[in-house]
Chains A and B, each alone.
Chain A
């Protein structure tokens, strides 16, 4: 009986140790877990790596030119090292870029938990893939191997771009949602105040009609945002592959139109409070 107790205790301890080890090995963004690591730091990290990449690309172009011209072993070795360095830095740019996008999403208040989780999953998958790819570039290789390795990233670039623009769209939607939520909260407060005034014997018919007009503007802003989101979703269609930047720019203009309706709605609300204050 005592032996069974000892065995079951040992089993429990082993089970707890196993799960603790498993949780600690799950690659969920070590950087985001670090206290004090925010979007600003992630963005600085990205810009820093982007500059490093630019420098390494210049060295790569120079070494490539030298190798093409002289075809010597030393030129080949130099080209190999410069290419490997550039490819590693290119992976790092993309990794830090997706990390910055992720941190921006973390700080976006108007994004739903579901959309946020789906984006985090997609971004984490790419970040992990890039980390593994970068590690694979450390082992000795030939120029042909490096070209093949580069093609693997090139093949994923369409997905990278799509993920970038979709994440950006989500960030812009989040901003508009957060602002609209704040404005809706104010319309509710004004509505309540108008009811209080009505009970006090005031004629608030005109002001209630103005409030309906303000709400119409806020709804129009929602419609424009929906149109922008449709545009962003269309980016995954094959017909948009070569025109993603232009399509994103069109969606971005729709977001600005949506914001303009919010401004107009806010002006109406200010007019209502002004009318309440003065007879």
Chain B
């Protein structure tokens, strides 16, 4: 192998090292780069546009209606939370066949 050939190989090797180093630097830069503005906006919760408010009737402040409304909420909670399984009260599993 002559000197000229060796010089070419070294040049190619150097070029490859420079290329690899450049890729490494670019990759590091991309990692450290702050998130883009579009991603930030995507995470934000959109504020709903307030719709047209419904006019309140003269019965809205009626004590009887307010009481019914309150009682309905209480009954609704009871209906939602009622235990209709009672699995804790299933008959106990017992060994009934005692044999020797």
Contacts and interface: CB of A to CB of B under 8 A. Distances in A.
B55 interface: yes
Interface string A231-260: 000000000000001000000100110010
A97 B84 contact: no
24 contacts: A43-B88, A53-B92, A53-B94, A86-B95, A101-B89, A104-B86, A104-B89, A147-B98, A147-B99, A147-B100, A161-B91, A164-B89, A175-B83, A175-B84, A182-B78, A193-B59, A263-B79, A263-B80, A270-B76, A273-B65, A273-B69, A277-B60, A278-B56, A279-B54
Nearest to A179: B79
B75 A179 contact: yes
B98 A259 contact: no
Given A252-B84, A276-B59, A266 B94 contact: no
The SS class assigned to the A binding surface is helix
A168 B89 contact: yes
Contacts of A67: 100
B84 A255 contact: yes
A175 B82 contact: yes
Closest 4 CB pairs of A and B: A150-B98, A278-B54, A277-B60, A164-B91
A263 B79 CA distance: 7
Interface residues of B, number: 35
Contacts, number: 124
A43 B87 CA distance: 12
B86 A266 contact: no
A214 to B, nearest CB: 11
- Max chain A C-beta neighbours (<10 A), residue from B59, B60, B90, B99: B59
Q: How extensive is the interface on chain A, given as a class? A: 35 or more
Interface stretch (A3-11, A19-27, A113-121, A183-191): A183-191
- Max chain B C-beta neighbours (<10 A), residue from A43, A143, A189: A189
B96 A153 contact: yes
A43 B90 CA distance: 12
Nearest to B60: A277
Interface of A: 43, 50, 53, 57, 64, 67-68, 79, 83, 86-87, 90, 93-94, 97, 100-101, 104, 143, 146-147, 150-151, 153-154, 157, 160-161, 164-165, 168, 171-172, 175-176, 179, 182-183, 186, 189-190, 193, 196-197, 245, 252, 255-256, 259, 262-263, 266, 269-270, 273, 276-279
B79 A172 contact: no
A157 B91 CA distance: 10
A143 B64 CA distance: 72
A235 B27 CA distance: 73
A76 to B, nearest CB: 9
A101 B89 CA distance: 7
